[in-house]
Amino acid sequence: MALITQRPKGTQDVKPDEVYKWHTIEKIAAETAECYGFKEIRFPTFENTALFKRSVGDTTDVVQKEMYSVSAKSPANGKDPDDFTLRPEGTAGAARAVIENGLLNEALPQKVYYIISCFRHEKPQAGRLREFHQFGAEMYGSSDPSADAEVIALAKSLLDRLGLDNVELFINSIGCPTCRAEYHKALKAYFESRKGELCPTCLDRLERNPMRILDCKSPICQDIAKDAPVILDYLCEECSVHFDKLKSYLGSMGIDYKINPKIVRGLDYYTKTVFEFITTDIGAQGTVCGGGRYDGLIEQLGGNPAPALGFAMGLERLIMTMESKNAPFNQEKKCDIYIGAMGDNAQIKAIGMVKALRDHGFLAECDVMGRGVKAQMKYANKIGAGFALILGDNELESGKANLKNMMTGEQLEIEINDTFVEKFTYIRMADVLAGELGV
């Protein structure tokens, strides 16, 4: 029988034997963020469409081409539609949540992190899906360049802890609205001279936001942009000093970087510092982290003015990069013990023992398929059980059974009474220690 349906294009399933890779990154990301004082925040998968148009920018590819939006009739009157969009990124939703829940009235800076799914309708390719996942970190309340350095250091620490040593940091400053206005004039004049060669999207950007042309994916527009004016030549004194201090802080932290004046990021809310961590280990889609500062975003969304900055990392790309580097993942948990049974009374005893073991944190299994003993042991081997124990009438009568180490083949007689879990705990701990010591 043919499948009724298949997963949507640009999405993926994560099978049980692969999910441990995701758990590795999620665990290390959360632990690293918490070392830097960041706390987890959770917010809806969809938001009012206006949030993304206002924050991300209506000249960006994300808003113009990639958002998944729907209209739903308002239950209040059944007439006026509500427009919702599946989040294409995390910063706007996090900022909205911080404002709406009054976090900016608490001690500053506010530091939050999140692990979320995002959605963009774009051409699926390696490392770029229509449903993808991000780890993001945001800081609110500080305009000092030391905050920029701390956020970059968090990203660097996470990449280091994941075992990714072939990743380069690129930084740039795209200035503030004051100096960027002068830069826009210079960009517009430059691109006007090549207007006839620009793609239709960039022709629109030329009038509304010429910096977006620098981020165009068209090879022709990219070639034209190679000789465009550089934003660093147009920074005002405040932005120039901010950028210089950032470089000093990164140097003090021992974080290597390269300056790339072409980095503008893909979203309109960025100001001053922008940065990317890039690897060559996964081909063209090598950006594993991108972020920067967005001091006007909170006010733009209706909150009181407050500086902000942050970054996001794509989990799919992190996994691809780790796999290419043979970086270590936390291995999936294996079965500690399998208790087999022969007969109804033994099965009842096995189920009770397994429950007690699970209550003490062990991954314990017993038969639920009605298999014979030989098939049960074959299954125990397949699931990688560390120990196995078979119960039958003789074992129930004597109150003792043989506990078999499935790796070494050694067997130990053990009582199957109320002390079983305690005794197995010691045996399992000794086995783990012996494995770690290579004994």
Express each pLDDT in 77-107 by its tens digit. 556 668 899 999 999 999 999 999 999 999 9
Min mean pLDDT across 195-209, 342-356, 393-407 is at 195-209
Mean pLDDT of 298-303: 92
Six-digit token string for 305: 């003015």
Six-digit token string for 371: 């298999």
Q: What pLDDT score was predicted for residue 284?
A: 60
Tell me which of 3.30.930.10, 3.90.600.10, 1.10.600.10, 3.30.230.10 is the CATH number of domain 19-176+236-325: 3.30.930.10
Looking at every residue in the chain, the average pLDDT score rounds to 90
To the nearest 10°, the Cα dihedral for 434, 20, 310, 163? 50
Q: What pLDDT score was predicted for residue 281?
A: 75
Total residues found in the chain within this entry: 439
Inter-residue contact 276 to 287 (CB < 8 Å)? yes
Same topology, domains 19-176+236-325 and 337-430? Answer is no
Neighbours of 407 (CB within 10 A): 13
**Single-letter amino acid code for the residue at 222:** Q
What are the distances in angstroms from CA 158 to CA 24, 218, 282, 413?
12, 32, 18, 46
The three-state (H, E, C) secondary structure of 132-167, written as one string = EEEEEEEEECCCCHHHHHHHHHHHHHHHHHCCCCCE
Inter-residue contact 318 to 133 (CB < 8 Å)? no
Which long-range contacts does 373-376 make (Cβ < 8 Å, 24+ apart)? 373/340, 373/342, 376/338, 376/340, 376/341
Inter-residue contact 257 to 169 (CB < 8 Å)? yes
Q: What pLDDT score was predicted for residue 104?
A: 97
Which residues in 175-195 are b (16+ Cβ under 10 Å) and which e?
bbeebbebbbebbbebbeebe
Indicate if the pLDDT at residue 129 is higher than 50: yes
Pairing assessment for the beta strands 46-48 and 400-405 based on DSSP bridges:
unpaired
pLDDT digits (tens, 9 = 90+) for 140-198: 999 999 999 999 999 999 999 999 988 999 999 999 989 988 998 998 999 998 888 99
Phi-psi region for residue 292, left (φ > 0), alpha (ψ -120 to 50) or beta? Answer: left
Q: How is residue 63 annotated by DSSP?
A: I
User: CB neighbours of 423 closer than 8 A, spacing ≥ 6?
Assistant: 414, 415
Indicate if the pLDDT at residue 326 is higher than 50: yes
Q: What pLDDT score was predicted for residue 374?
A: 96
Mean pLDDT of 296-323: 94
Beta-bridge partner residues of 70: 84
d(CA 191, CA 187): 6
Higher pLDDT residue, 126 or 121? 121
Beta-bridge partner residues of 276: 170, 290
Helix (H, G, I), strand (E, B) or coil at 58: coil
Neighbours of 239 (CB within 10 A): 22
What is the phi/psi pair of residue 340, to 5°?
-90, 165
d(CA 346, CA 26): 41
For CA atoms 180, 186, 190, 193, give the dihedral sign. positive
H helices within 36-81, ranges in order? 49-55, 61
Mean pLDDT of 333-362: 96
Six-digit token string for 91: 């910063």
d(CA 64, CA 61): 5
Helix (H, G, I), strand (E, B) or coil at 333: coil
**Single-letter amino acid code for the residue at 384:** G
**Single-letter amino acid code for the residue at 127:** G
The position carrying tokens 């925040």 is: 41
Six-digit token string for 110: 């506010």
Mean pLDDT of 119-128: 80
Domain ranges of the chain: 19-176+236-325, 337-430
d(CA 215, CA 195): 16
pLDDT digits (tens, 9 = 90+) for 367-420: 999 999 999 999 999 999 999 999 999 999 999 999 999 999 999 999 999 999
Q: What pLDDT score was predicted for residue 439?
A: 45
Q: Which CATH architecture does the domain made up of 337-430 adopt?
A: 3-Layer(aba) Sandwich (3.40)
User: CB neighbours of 332 closer than 8 A, spacing ≥ 6?
Assistant: 17, 19, 20
Inter-residue contact 248 to 261 (CB < 8 Å)? no
